[in-house]
Structure 1
Amino acid sequence: MNTKTGSARAYVGAAGLAALAVLFGSLGSWQAGRAAASREAQARFASGAEATVLAPPAALDEAQRFRRVEVRGEYVGEPQFLLDNMLHGGVAGYHVLTALRVEGLRERLLVNRGWVAAGDRRVLPDVTAPGGARAISGRLERLPRPGLRLAAAESSTGGAPLVVLQFPTAEQLSERLGAPVAAYQVLLDPAAEGGYVREWRAPGIAPERHLAYAGQWWLLAVGAAGAAIVIAAKTTMRREP
């Protein structure tokens, strides 16, 4: 092989490794940023339990997420919504979303009454909502979102009294319900009656896992950068007379 050609290929390989080092380093920094965001969400979730109780807002802003809300109303028994593909302890199931009619509010509030196991998917669970007016308390949170929402991505089965949905928007829920709904959910308090499994926590994975992923990417970046330096140095030494 021609020495110049071999050297050129070696330098190209070193440059490719250097580019990979930059990419891996960027991915590590991205994961570190995710860890910081997760830590902030956990802190806001913890502080939300102690903050002043709110009345139902017209729209949910970031500062109101995880804040407590108290309201009195009556559940709308049909239809109820089962949010599919919700995991608890590694088991697949549904979150039960029930509309609440509140006097003086145009929109229905969407109360997440907790998680139920899916079991035999040919038989939907009995999640009959309690009747009569009642006091409801819980935390304000956004509706669940997919990592990537595609056009016409709504998937549903069943009809009244139960509709199974995956990551519906407020508009889709409003259309199914036949009434306007608030564009957020209320996570029903664990001690409240009429609910299911409710071990609420800040969404996302733990910051420690993000940091572990960041460390892996940074180690790969160091390895790629080191290999690039070694290849470039050896190639330069071979070319020297």
Structure 2
Amino acid sequence: MISLFTALIAKRTVATVSALLVIAIGCGAGIWQLGRAETKIALAANLQARQQMPVLNANQGPWTLEEANERRMNARGQYIPEAAVWLDNRPRPIPPSGSTSSQSGFYLMMPLRLEGKDEVLWVNRGWAPRNNENRETLPIVQTPNKVVSIEGIVFAHPGKVYELGGSKISAYEGKPRIEQNFDLMVQAKLHGWSQAPFILRELEVGADDGLLRDWAPLTSGVDRHYAYAFQWFALAFTGFVFWLISGLRQYKRQGFGNGHRGDQE
């Protein structure tokens, strides 16, 4: 058996190198996908543990990002709708039942002026669908014109998407803006106000305001990573089997037929 493999390798150098390359790529990508899945599971477990800690109160701060990150937080204040930022190209957190494609829309980022404090807290109020016929038409949402109490989870940012050219600071014109990404430092410079060093992703409270807040869990996509890992490992295995079978066929036609029979004669 050892001599057979030695012959398959020695007589088929190019094929062997190609097969090794396919196997290495397949195994490497498969291991990477498994690592991604394990990372998501660990992050979800850490998030769950932090959410079991006592609920923070934004009005009793100040809180640092390190203290509040991924923890539940209550906040009381009044929204400033004219300073809202609509984050474009955001998929619906959880697609409708039976749907296989993600629907694109906006995250509505809106500052909340905290009651009893000279500080603003940016809130990710939720997701709304985009008007496919006119991208500049913003969804209709309801914003209370009074002091409200909300609850959410603290994050460093609302998530980022690929953007050409990066963020640009423009003059604040007192009207909602459509952006690709959200930067707290940029907003602080635009408005010149004191604000919390994190954002609050609002949780579903049953409010009928035109926004969806059925946020996808951090473990979302773990099954997909496992499926991708299986595909990559299958590619590596297929590469090995193809190399082996094609080599055996060539060995029977040339190596066994010419070499062994020639020795016998």
Contact 1:187 1:200 in 2 (8 A): no
Residue 118 of structure 1: aligned partner: 130
Q: Give the TM-score normalised by the residue count of structure 1.
A: 0.79
For residues 197 and 231 of structure 2, what CA distance do their matches in structure 1 show? 38
Shift of 1:78: 2.1
Listed as ranges, the gaps of 5+ residues in structure 2 are 1-8, 96-101, 261-265
Q: How does 1:182-197 map to 2 (within 5 A)?
A: 182-191=196-205, 193=207, 195=209, 196-197=211-212
**Runs of 4 or more off by more than 6 Å in structure 1?**
155-158
Residue 221 of structure 1: aligned partner: 236
Work out which of the two has the higher radius of gyration on C-alpha atoms and give 1 or 2: 2
For residues 113 and 139 of structure 1, what CA distance do their matches in structure 2 show? 11
Residue 70 of structure 1: aligned partner: 74
Q: How does 1:77-156 map to 2 (within 5 A)?
A: 77-88=81-92, 89=95, 90-102=102-114, 107-119=119-131, 120-127=134-141, 129-146=143-160, 152-154=165-167
Contact 2:78 2:114 in 1 (8 A): yes
Indicate yes or no: 2:29 matched with 1:27: yes
Amino acid at match of 2:255: R
Residue 216 of structure 2: aligned partner: 201
How many residues align? The count is: 233
For residues 97 and 19 of structure 1, what CA distance do their matches in structure 2 show? 47
Contact 2:41 2:218 in 1 (8 A): no
Calculate the aligned-residue CA RMSD, in Å: 3.4
User: What's the secondary structure of 2:145's corresponding residue?
Assistant: coil
Indicate yes or no: 2:38 matched with 1:36: yes
Shift of 1:8: 7.6
User: What's the secondary structure of 1:213's corresponding residue?
Assistant: helix
Amino acid at match of 2:192: G
Q: Give the TM-score normalised by the residue count of structure 2.
A: 0.72
Contact 1:83 1:97 in 2 (8 A): yes
Residue 15 of structure 1: aligned partner: 17
For residues 159 and 35 of structure 2, what CA distance do their matches in structure 1 show? 20
Listed as ranges, the gaps of 5+ residues in structure 1 are 1-6
Residue 50 of structure 1: aligned partner: 52
Residue 98 of structure 2: aligned partner: none
Distance 1:179 1:64, change over 3 A: closer
Per-residue CA shift, 1:148-172, capped at 9, x if unaligned?
566x323899953201111222222
Q: Per chain length, whose mean CA-contact separation is higher, i.e. which structure has more relative contact order (CA < 8 Å, sep 6+)?
A: 1
State the identity %.
24
Contact 1:60 1:183 in 2 (8 A): yes
Contact 1:14 1:232 in 2 (8 A): no
Distance 1:93 1:154, change over 3 A: same
Distance 1:163 1:156, change over 3 A: farther
Distance 1:197 1:147, change over 3 A: closer
